Amino acid sequence: ELEVALKVVIVGDGGVGKSSMIQRYCRGTFTRDYKKTIGVDFLERQIEIDGEEVRLMLWDTAGQEEFDAITKAYYRGAHACVLAFSTTDRDSFLALHSWKLKVENECGEIPTIIVQNKIDLMDQCVVGPDEAELVSRALGCRLMRASVKEDVNVGAVFRALAARCLAD
């Protein structure tokens, strides 16, 4: 039986929780300081969708996003994308559009989910619920809200993406 392997790229401004999300999903851990990333290009996790084995390879950017220096190798062959921003960082929300364009330029149209991370910090929220919905709709993406810290919706994001890829 053939196993499906999906490359998923996780993009968004520095500090929104991308590395934490990958570590949470693939290793089940969360740390406050996750700057010095994993030292490998990606982590992986195997799941089952409708009886099909799916191997998800989650690619991390190792901090280059802050220098606008993400290489083509990072995007090459990606099947799906997580576009992440932080509940407490308005600039990261405003940057969604340009991240979407970057991915589109390298990968074409691939299944993409916008993730509003850090919803455990709603008391410090700087993005209105309506504008988040509006921007997501304008970019043609589903919006999901998550807390990597509290482990809310992280698994759901990757299951939804994998299911989308299998349906295509």
Site for ligand GDP (CB under 6 A): which residue of 83, 147, 161, 165?
Answer: 147
Residue 118 near which of Mg ion, ligand GDP, none (CB within 5-8 Å, type-dependent)? ligand GDP
75, 51, 48: which is closest to 158 by C-alpha?
A: 48
Q: Identify the residue among 4, 15, 41, 143 touching ligand GDP (CB under 6 A).
A: 15
What does the alpha-carbon distance between residue 29 and residue 150 come to, in Å, rounded to a whole number? Answer: 11
**CA–CA separation, 63 vs 19, rounded Å?**
9
Is residue 148 within the footprint of ligand GDP (CB under 6 A)? yes
Closer to ligand GDP at the Cβ: 54 or 83?
83
Name which position in 19, 112, 116, 136 contacts ligand GDP (CB under 6 A): 19
Footprint (CB under 6 A) of ligand GDP, residues 119-138: 120-121
Determine the Cα–Cα distance for residues 101 and 108; give it in Å rounded to an integer.
9
Shortest approach of Mg ion to residue 123 CB, angstroms? Answer: 24
For residue 156, give the 3-state DSSP assignment: helix
**What is 123-153 written as a DSSP string?**
GG--S-HHHHHHHHHHTT-EEEE-BTTTTBS
Choice from 11, 19, 75, 162 touching Mg ion (CB under 5 A): 19
How far apart are CB 77 and ligand GDP at their closest, in Å? 21
Distance of CA 88 to the CA centre of its chain: 17
